Structure 1
């Protein structure tokens, strides 16, 4: 199995909160800077409305990958098993159950990373709840926070264009995020094409070499297999990263979690992941279970199969919809 990377989810949505119902409560805000009013003499005070805070009830989407274990899986030698192995089908069943559970958990984790990426770069998540394993029938569900802090560069202003102003762009987008939310972004995540343009930009290179003035400290380091730390822009308080990891979509194609031509400015801990409860049959009775992962195992005696399922109902939620800024730069 490919390793699972969770840079976006772990950085921007590190917290978790579970609910006892299938619906979760989304509390988020769009910041405003209302000032207290002056009050005329002999007037006690002016009543102020509470603004910028919204609560929505949302039915958490269901993720439920499952696997089957049949007799055929247990009577043949497993991958990596000694050819003269004396292991019993019961031994192989226990190992397969463990491996399958880990793989199902990895699949859910990768889907959570996809949800974080969709929310960060698009401001909304469009989820397709499939009815069959052929991915031909589905019910669509949207999670839209009304994100507006996004810009699309065009013409010579793109980062590979003749009039590119990469440093000035980052400075302006940082200020736009501060104006919208009151909080400064500290992390800049570049898609690979955007990172190449950033590194090759003459103005950025000039700022790296200015005598006695350090406006750009470019010192690439490998943080993990998928994450590279490029450097820091001290004047802007931004640490620059690239994140190179992909997911296999339902259409059979692989796509990067961070679009290659996009830039994200944000800060750690901007939100959390909420988990709705899971209702399923246990001992012939419906039960509702609170948790981020809910396993289930059952037997199909007629067809000589054992089934395992791992269910999760995650919903990534930002604290403020204005905490980050996204740009399409190429």
Structure 2
């Protein structure tokens, strides 16, 4: 071993420190379980358009009243396209891999030393896994945008900025101001009443019931400071009832952590971030926001056809491909996908900005 290298240097340590900033998919997995793969550039979602109609009164001596059949609405969307293209470092296969002993010894988990070909294959697997991870994070971002705004705005190279509007009822996007904010000085807000009003608004707009409240940090801090909520937590502890069992101590975890139950609602604390096109790290859900969501949202992860003749315009969630350039020698790796996250029953979610604090 090179005598100038200390055994305490990072590159000598046998422990491999893996990246912990992997994509979290709480919103996707919780509220967008359906997978739709289209063999065209469009995806279609059928929605049962229900109205609270009643049967008509008619005299038995006259002809029956003609009633319109229950209507099914088909929403057609064109998903944005993703092409993640990479040129892996050509020299990586002849250099030590992450976790491989200095001077090319065996891997930290034992076994024979790696050959250059094995390193190349391992590097391609590493890059492919990173591409899939980035695609998951993009879809979690889409889910967050759809739930927060009821819309999705996308832009990219050769792709004009466009907005996909899922047509959520405007009453389900709430912005509190002044003393209506939960953390305002002299606030007149009552979180219990607010959530009760939200549940009625959603029930009226969609017929769906709130099952989950997803808090960002400052609204949750304001919630557990509210006297009515504190009393509910205390009474629940004393009487062993189910009114409020909420965690009050400091907690943070990747994605969402279940903080307890409030009435019939599951209460979550959500923390996740992404890096935008300007290389700024931003929260998936802006601090100050509370999402009220129903498990009847029936969301879908839809995928348009892969627009690549070499792959036969296949209908799949994502399609990796790899090829070699001869001179200068270079391997390329590309991941293609046409994803769109769709809140099929869009009025089964509500977003409220209730605090002025920013994380």
TM-score normalised according to structure 1 size: 0.90
2:262 corresponding residue in structure 1: 233
Q: Is the 8 A contact 2:208 2:296 kept in 1?
A: no
Equivalent residue number for residue 178 of structure 2: 155
Count, aligned residues: 319
1:139 aligns with 2:160: yes
Q: 1:187 to 1:67 in 2, by over 3 A?
A: same
Matched, 1:201 2:226: yes
CA deviation map 1:26-64 (0-9, x unaligned): 333564212221223334433333566422322221112
1:321 and 2:340 aligned: no
- Aligned equivalents of 1:296 and 1:207: distance in 2? 56
- Aligned ranges 1:19-30 → 2 under 5 Å: 19-28=38-47
* RMSD (Å) for aligned C-alpha atoms: 2.1
Q: Aligned pair in 2 of structure 1 residues 318, 50: CA closer, same or farther (>3 Å)?
A: farther
Matches within 5 A, 1:170-319: 170-210=195-235, 212=239, 214-219=242-247, 225-234=254-263, 237-268=264-295, 270=297, 271-282=299-310, 287-319=312-344
Aligned-residue offset at 1:223: 9.5
Instruction: Identify which range, 177-186 or 201-210, moves more after superposition.
Output: 201-210
Stretches of structure 1 lacking an aligned partner (at least 5 in a row): 132-137
2:153 paired residue among 126, 134, 137:
126
Higher relative contact order (CA 8 A, sep 6+): 1
Deviation at 1:100, TM superposition (A): 0.6
Q: Name the structure 1 match of 2:115.
A: 88
Q: Matches of 2:127 and 2:38 in 1, distance apart?
A: 26
Q: Max radius of gyration: which structure? A: 2
Classify 1:97/1:220 alpha carbon distance in 2 versus 1 (closer, same or farther; 3 Å).
farther
8 Å Cα contact 1:216-1:232 kept in structure 2: yes
- Cα offset, 1:248, TM superposition: 0.7
Choose 97-106 or 305-314, whichever is displaced more. 305-314
| Distance (Å, rounded) in 1 between the aligned partners of 2:228 and 2:325 | 66
Q: Deviations over 1:176-233 (max 9, x none)?
A: 1111111211100011111111111122101222364653221369795332222212
**3-state SS of paired residue (2:334):** strand
Measure the CA separation in 2 of the matches of 1:141 and 1:52: 29
Per-residue deviation at 1:84? 2.2
Structure 1 residues 123, 29: CA separation in 2 closer, same or farther (over 3 Å shift)? farther
Mean Cα deviation higher: 239-248 or 223-232: 223-232
Find the aligned partners of 2:74 and 2:90 in 1 and give their Cα distance.
50
CA distance in 2, matches of 1:31, 1:249: 39
Instruction: Give the distance between the partners of 1:175 and 1:274, measured in 2 at CA.
Output: 30
Contact 1:14 1:273 in 2 (8 A): yes
Give the Cα–Cα distance (whole angstroms) in 2 for the partners of residues 176 and 52 of structure 1.
23
